[in-house]
């Protein structure tokens, strides 16, 4: 177990290094130089040179990376040359909103998907299964930038149940907070619900054909009990993987709804920095999100062992 | 609650695959999906010669609701009085070009890399897998945003960026397939007859990879159209006045309260296209992917 966890962690570390090299190298992709990107086309050569020195861009790439890594390991992702704001602080300020949004979206997706998958796997092929499959296929074709405006139109503008935009912090009351988070979370959830449902339905149908399920039913156990206590857990391993991947994706993927609903999260920070051509902040957020993504996926892989006794045994042997 | 109607049966090795019932009842929907895609592709290809208004000139009053009358006003007009029908059709050119272009480029590069890794194994495989994992470690939208932030958005930049996020998926698929095909008897037979690695890869393994990889393409194109839409929605897509579906939603969202059709028309077009591509993809995959 320990060996496999260490091996997995080593692999993740390699990936993180590659990711950070790419993110640092990103700056050298800019046409002209980053300084001209930040200062604009009309900057004087002297100003450009000064900016390059300030950002350390006049040094060779490997040294730039070394410097950057040294500071990043200490938690310093640089300072925005435009606003003078500390990038790490800016990220930490925005993180709670994005995190809450992602976790809420994930909770919504998993619970709805489990409900739908149980209903459709219970009797594959009957009308209920077909209706659920049709809805699920439709959800798969509704990305956040379509779901968002449509949800705003239906539930905020027409029905008036939710605010059109804006974020209520938890300090303002949990109810108001959830009301401002629900529509954006739902908007990013639809495609996740669909893919979770597809996966879990197939796995459940497979598990329900196992002998031990037949044995449980033959003993006279209620069908709902067999479904939830005997079939659901062994069917949920692929779902856990996918949910982990999806949490990582959501942390970077709530950009669209954050812009649409005007929520002060990481996505809005990135978007505002792009408009302002603040490449240093963009770089910081990209590294932060990518590393989070790698770490989450690693934790999901390791959690297999705790969820599935078969993996635990195999690792010990 | 009655959760089951069919008694559980022990699984015999000859039992029908689990997905059989789903496979059988799709023809009508799949047919409709093919028809919609054919229509969109035909309109997009023929756009310059169709008798419709230009996409950047006013065709009527601003924000007209959809309605009969003239062809140009069929889907209404946007805030500048430009025909939404014309803009949807010209927007299809961008979406389809970007989607299929990046999809095919990703397919080609991913197939080659996956084949090399899956057949040769060893160091080559480990290197390719590591790069693949690193690419997959970037949430796709963040990688695209980072690229658009540093470079100026244009069709070429978007194409390169989308290809970059597509390649690793094809590498994984191609690698898995290559490993499974490489262990087959006919490959060993070819090797025993003295065929070199290059010949075995191109003549024995590659032809067997293509059906599975090709049938994966529509789903990838759908995902790419969504990605391009998200970028355009964030204002990082194709620069105006050239229309794109995501850009149209972006322009229309401020008028959502008074003229919802500005958003609903392009939203419906994207929905139908992505839905159709997914249906066609599922259909092809069930037929051609032997891992399913």
Query: Which range scores top for mean pLDDT: A37-46, A257-266, B52-61, B74-83?
Result: A257-266
Instruction: For residue A79, give the DSSP letter.
Output: B
pLDDT reading at B11 higher than 50: no
Q: Is A8 exposed, middle or buried (0-12, 13-18, 19+ CB in 10 A)?
A: middle
Instruction: For residue B83, give the DSSP letter.
Output: B
Higher pLDDT, A125 or B19: A125
What's the whole-number mean pLDDT along residues A283-305?
A: 80
> Could you tell me if A273 lies within 8 Å of chain B, comparing CB atoms?
yes
What's the whole-number mean pLDDT along residues A169-174?
A: 77
Q: Domain of B252: which CATH number?
A: 1.10.3720.10
Flag whether B24 is in a domain: no
What's the whole-number mean pLDDT along residues B43-61?
A: 79
- Chain B positions in Cβ-Cβ contact with residue A259 (cut-off 8 Å): 234
For testing contact with chain B, the best of A9, A20, A123, A143 (most B CBs within 10 A): A143
Q: Confidence band (pLDDT; 50, 70, 90) for B105?
A: very high
Look at residue B262 in the predicted model and tell me its pLDDT: 86
Look at residue A109 in the predicted model and tell me its pLDDT: 93
Look at residue B35 in the predicted model and tell me its pLDDT: 92
Structure tokens at B89: 């059709």
Q: Confidence band (pLDDT; 50, 70, 90) for A208?
A: confident
Q: Is A19 exposed, middle or buried (0-12, 13-18, 19+ CB in 10 A)?
A: buried
Structure tokens at A144: 């956040």
pLDDT reading at B113 higher than 90: yes
Q: What predicted TM-score, i.e. pTM, was given to this entire model?
A: 0.83
Q: Confidence band (pLDDT; 50, 70, 90) for A33?
A: low
Flag whether B107 is in a domain: yes
Arithmetic mean of pLDDT over chain B: 82
Q: How far apart are CA A86 and CA A78, in angstroms?
A: 6
CB contact under 8 A, B278 and A137: yes
CB contact under 8 A, A224 and B1: yes
Number of domains into which chain B is organized: 1
> Could you tell me if A11 lies within 8 Å of chain B, comparing CB atoms?
yes
CB contact under 8 A, A146 and B253: no
> Could you tell me if A188 lies within 8 Å of chain B, comparing CB atoms?
no
CB interface of A with B, residues 248-267, below 8 Å: 248-249, 251-253, 255-256, 259-260
Look at residue B21 in the predicted model and tell me its pLDDT: 47
pLDDT reading at A312 higher than 70: no
pLDDT reading at B106 higher than 90: yes
Look at residue A37 in the predicted model and tell me its pLDDT: 67
Flag whether B94 is in a domain: yes
What's the whole-number mean pLDDT along residues B269-277?
A: 92
Query: Which range scores top for mean pLDDT: B112-116, B155-159, B176-180?
Result: B112-116
Look at residue B146 in the predicted model and tell me its pLDDT: 76
What's the whole-number mean pLDDT along residues A145-174?
A: 82
- The full length of chain A comes to 317
Residue whose C-alpha is closest to residue A288's, from A80, A55, A77: A77
Q: Which of A30, A152, A251 is opposite residue B256, by nearest beta carbon?
A: A152
Give the domain ranges of chain A.
2-73, 87-316
Instruction: Give pLDDT tens digits for A223-256.
Output: 888 888 888 888 888 888 788 878 877 876 788 8
Higher pLDDT, A149 or A38: A149
Look at residue A197 in the predicted model and tell me its pLDDT: 92
What's the whole-number mean pLDDT along residues B61-70?
A: 74
Look at residue A32 in the predicted model and tell me its pLDDT: 60
Instruction: Give pLDDT tens digits for B93-104.
Output: 889 999 999 999
Q: Are B94 and B244 in contact (CB under 8 A)?
A: yes
Flag whether B178 is in a domain: yes
Arithmetic mean of pLDDT over chain A: 82
pLDDT reading at B108 higher than 90: yes
Higher pLDDT, A78 or B103: B103
Residue span of the structural domain in which B196 resides: 76-288
Phi, psi (deg, nearest 5) at residue B251: -65, -35
Q: How far apart are CA B63 and CA B262, in angstroms?
A: 8
Flag whether B58 is in a domain: no
Q: Are A39 and A51 in contact (CB under 8 A)?
A: yes
**What is the percentage of chain B residues whose pLDDT exceeds 70?**
89
Look at residue B99 in the predicted model and tell me its pLDDT: 92
Flag whether B196 is in a domain: yes
Query: What b/e sequence results for B181-196 when a residue is b if at least 16 CB atoms lie within 10 Å of its CB, and e otherwise?
Result: bbeeeebeebeeeeee
Q: Confidence band (pLDDT; 50, 70, 90) for B5?
A: very low
∠ CA B145-A168-A108, nearest 5°, is 70
Look at residue A104 in the predicted model and tell me its pLDDT: 92
What's the whole-number mean pLDDT along residues B39-66?
A: 80
Look at residue B3 in the predicted model and tell me its pLDDT: 44
pLDDT reading at A166 higher than 80: no
Look at residue B155 in the predicted model and tell me its pLDDT: 84
Query: What b/e sequence results for B59-86 when a residue is b if at least 16 CB atoms lie within 10 Å of its CB, and e otherwise?
Result: bbeebbeeeeeeebbbbbbbeebbbbbb
- Chain A positions in Cβ-Cβ contact with residue B37 (cut-off 8 Å): none
Flag whether B284 is in a domain: yes
Look at residue A108 in the predicted model and tell me its pLDDT: 93
Just give the CATH number of A87-316. 1.10.3720.10
Instruction: For residue A227, give the DSSP letter.
Output: I
Flag whether B68 is in a domain: no
Say how many Å lie between the first and final Cα of chain A, rounded. Answer: 9
Higher pLDDT, B176 or B292: B176
Look at residue A6 in the predicted model and tell me its pLDDT: 82
Q: Confidence band (pLDDT; 50, 70, 90) for B269?
A: very high
Look at residue B136 in the predicted model and tell me its pLDDT: 78
pLDDT reading at B114 higher than 50: yes
């Amino acid at each position: 177990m320990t060996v496999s966890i260490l091996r997995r962690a080593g692999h993740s570390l390699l990936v993180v290094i590659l990711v950070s090299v790419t993110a640092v190298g990103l700056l050298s992709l800019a046409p002209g130089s980053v300084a001209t990107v930040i200062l604009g086309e009309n900057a004087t050569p002297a100003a450009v040179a000064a900016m390059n020195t300030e950002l350390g861009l006049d040094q060779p790439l490997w040294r730039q990376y070394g410097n950057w890594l040294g500071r990043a390991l200490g938690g310093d992702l640089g300072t925005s040359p435009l606003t003078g704001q500390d990038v790490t602080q800016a990220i930490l300020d925005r993180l709670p909103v994005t995190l809450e949004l992602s976790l809420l979206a994930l909770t919504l997706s998993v619970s709805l998907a489990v409900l739908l998958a149980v209903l459709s796997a219970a009797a594959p092929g009957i009308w209920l299964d077909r209706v659920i499959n049709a809805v699920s296929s439709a959800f798969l074709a509704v990305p956040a930038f379509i779901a968002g405006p449509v949800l705003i139109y239906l539930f905020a503008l027409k029905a008036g149940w939710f605010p059109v935009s804006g974020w209520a912090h938890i300090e303002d009351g949990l109810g108001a907070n959830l009301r401002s988070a629900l529509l954006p979370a739902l908007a990013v959830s639809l495609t996740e619900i669909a893919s979770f449902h597809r996966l879990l339905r197939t796995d459940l149908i497979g598990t329900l054909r196992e002998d031990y399920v037949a044995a449980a039913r033959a003993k006279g156990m209620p069908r709902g009990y067999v479904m939830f206590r005997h079939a659901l857990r062994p069917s949920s391993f692929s779902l856990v993987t996918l949910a982990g991947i999806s949490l990582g994706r959501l942390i970077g993927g709530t950009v669209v709804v954050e812009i649409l609903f005007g929520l002060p999260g990481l996505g809005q920070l990135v978007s505002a920095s792009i408009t302002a051509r603040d490449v240093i902040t963009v770089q910081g957020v990209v590294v932060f999100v990518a590393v989070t993504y790698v770490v989450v996926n690693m934790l999901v892989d390791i959690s297999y062992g705790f969820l599935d006794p078969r993996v635990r045994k195999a690792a010990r042997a | 609650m009655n959760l089951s109607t069919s008694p559980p049966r022990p699984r015999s090795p000859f039992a029908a695959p689990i997905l059989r019932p789903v496979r059988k009842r799709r023809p009508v929907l799949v047919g409709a999906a093919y028809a919609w895609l054919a229509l969109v592709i035909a309109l997009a290809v023929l756009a310059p010669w169709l008798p419709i208004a230009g996409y950047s000139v006013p065709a009527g009053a601003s924000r007209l609701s959809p309605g009969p009358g003239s062809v140009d006003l069929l889907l209404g007009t946007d805030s500048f009085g430009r025909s939404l029908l014309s803009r949807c059709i010209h927007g299809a050119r961008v979406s389809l070009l970007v989607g299929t272009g990046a999809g095919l480029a990703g397919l080609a590069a991913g197939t080659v890399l996956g084949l090399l890794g899956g057949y040769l194994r060893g160091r080559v495989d480990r290197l390719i897998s590591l790069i693949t994992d690193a690419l997959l470690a970037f949430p796709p939208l963040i990688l695209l945003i980072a690229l658009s932030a540093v470079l100026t958005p244009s069709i070429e930049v978007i194409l390169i960026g989308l290809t970059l996020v597509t390649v690793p998926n094809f590498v994984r698929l191609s690698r898995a397939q290559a490993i499974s095909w490489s262990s087959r008897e006919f490959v060993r037979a070819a090797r025993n007859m003295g065929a070199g690695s290059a010949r075995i890869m191109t003549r024995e393994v590659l032809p067997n990879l293509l059906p599975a990889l090709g049938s994966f393409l529509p789903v990838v194109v759908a995902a790419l159209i969504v990605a391009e839409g998200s970028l355009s929605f964030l204002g990082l897509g194709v620069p105006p006045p050239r229309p794109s579906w995501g850009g149209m939603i972006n322009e229309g969202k401020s008028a959502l309260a008074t003229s919802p059709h500005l958003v609903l028309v392009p939203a419906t077009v994207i929905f139908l296209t992505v839905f159709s591509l997914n249906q066609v993809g599922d259909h092809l995959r069930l037929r051609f992917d032997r891992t399913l």
